[in-house]
Structure 1
Amino acid sequence: MPKLKTRKAAAKRFRVTGSGKKIVRRKAYKNHLLNHKSSEQKRRRLSQTALVSEQDEPNVRLMLPYL
């Protein structure tokens, strides 16, 4: 069986939790156009990590076979 390739774009965006059961991602909307967003929104809500939804998790695992 040949080795599987990792999608490098996905490897930069997703990590696995300590238990290895869930996948973690960054939240969107914190790259640009930040002037009109409140400091609280940027600091508290958008800086936190989030879990990948259960529906999307199989697709992410296919992109990252050695996760």
Structure 2
Amino acid sequence: MPKVKTNSGAKKRFKVTGSGKVKYKKAFKRHLLGHKSKDRKKGLNIDGIVHPSDMPRVKDMLVL
């Protein structure tokens, strides 16, 4: 049986925390930031946590 490979895109986008949660960087913080409010940009700095309903798919991609 062949080895199970980790999804290349997923390994660049997700990181597993010590407690087993999976975190990711939020979108919309790269460019066109002039019209976005300070509070909105501040909120985009905080890492997101993968929702429990999405965890099975993410775990399959990361081979956890």
TM tier relative to shorter chain: 0.7 to 0.9
1:5 Cα deviation from its structure 2 partner: 0.8
2:36 is equivalent to residue 37 of structure 1: yes
Aligned length: 64
The separation in 2 between residues aligned to 1:57 and 1:27, in whole angstroms, is 17
| Corresponding residue of 1:46 | 44
Give CA deviations for 1:2-43 in whole Å, capped at 9, x if unaligned: 2101111110000011122x111111211222111122321x
Please list every run of at least 4 consecutive aligned residues from structure 1 whose deviation after the TM superposition is greater than 4 angstroms.
none
Unaligned runs of 5+ in 1: none
Structure 1 vs Structure 2 CA RMSD: 1.3
Identical aligned residues as a percent: 52
- Bigger share in helix: 2
